[in-house]
A and B are shown apart, each in its own frame.
Chain A
């Protein structure tokens, strides 16, 4: 993928070069005042977003809708397949062909991996992947990068510690691929059974980086610039007692952050369950709600760029 994003599908972060990512983040910067409601835009007036959520989502769906509304466009679609023709057994391909005729851009979340790529084959309008099963979630990665860049003044050279479920978490796989493109220093903290898969480590090493692997947050927190926390899912553990032990060891709280750099930022893709104690929320480190807001300007930038507005 190179040059303008007009008419292109946004399926995987791997489709982007570093320059294109920076271009998207630059456009997102310009969108912030409108995203906050401090300015008005009619850039996408008359445009329709087809929003197909086959799985529940709060932040991703609402921020896409907010992004479209802030740019003067409208949204149609569903947030669960019940009640739509999908429940009657319609294929994704047919649903996409129909929505393609009703809208100018399609946003898709689907439980099956590769669904967005398939949608891209059947749609003439651009398709934006809002998460396909355990596969890719590129707009989350872009808003994570946007948050790091804005809060730390850049991405390169930052020491990013990623903690939690690194084996199954789709967010962290896309994020680490993107961070390695920017040359960030990476440390992975997880219980051994949930560590980063070897193929991802190899991919990062192929970029000339040497990620550090650890199972102790205390060991690495003092040296971190960004602490990216993800949820450890209970269902990954056959023994509930084992889950409690592991989840407890990876809970971030105010006491633990005393050892951290003053300008460390704590991020989380949300929803959180108990991996970040609420007493962290009002510390100078917490950035997860800013991060959630950043979904709006980043998605505004993508909608605008694929529909041919901003370059």
Chain B
């Protein structure tokens, strides 16, 4: 009998090809905490077909919304999303780094006006894709430590 390390899920999302070591950050930024009612599986340091290493996250009974997909793209731009419905892959796509990022990240500059209780959503434009650097449209500061600043 074939032994599965992690069993297939009936409904939910499999996030594959996560940059190795980033799976727990992915869970954090999409808000998966201890109070979820379904199973969440995390596979870290799994060999990929390309000969490299990757992480995988399986979340049962949950599909990600566009904002959450953008968050995943920002910290793991090569991640693949598999939407599972009734044990089948209903949709499969690679996340896309958005050109503009609004409302999902704070500016890394503590002196930026967007960090001062003003009624605005911080907004960024992609300055470089590899490595990913986002420029604040208010203070012009570049943020490269994306995972630490996602809200």
Contacts and interface: CB of A to CB of B under 8 A. Distances in A.
Q: Chain B, interface size: which category?
A: 10 to 19
Contact of B138 (A93, A111, A118, A199): A118
A14 B120 CA distance: 23
B interface SS class: loop
Given A12-B140, A118-B138, A135-B139, A113 B119 contact: no
Interface in B87-115: 107, 109, 111-114
B118 A92 contact: yes
A113 B118 contact: no
A122 to B, nearest CB: 9
B25 interface: no
A160 B119 CA distance: 42
B112 A113 contact: yes
A113 B110 CA distance: 9
Contacts, number: 53
Contact of A133 (B111, B119, B137, B142): B111
Contact of A92 (B107, B113, B139): B113
Contacts of A112: 111-113, 116, 139
Given A91-B118, A91-B119, A93-B118, A118 B140 contact: no
A interface SS class: mixed
B37 interface: no
A14 B136 CA distance: 14
A286 interface: no
Given A12-B140, A135-B139, A115 B113 contact: yes
A110 B113 CA distance: 9
B119 A114 contact: no
Interface in B116-132: 116-120
B45 interface: no
28 contacts: A12-B140, A14-B140, A91-B118, A92-B116, A93-B118, A111-B111, A112-B111, A112-B139, A113-B112, A113-B138, A113-B140, A113-B141, A114-B112, A114-B114, A114-B138, A114-B139, A114-B140, A117-B113, A117-B137, A117-B138, A117-B139, A118-B113, A118-B114, A118-B118, A118-B138, A132-B113, A134-B111, A136-B140
Interface of A: 12, 14, 91-93, 110-115, 117-118, 121, 132-136, 199
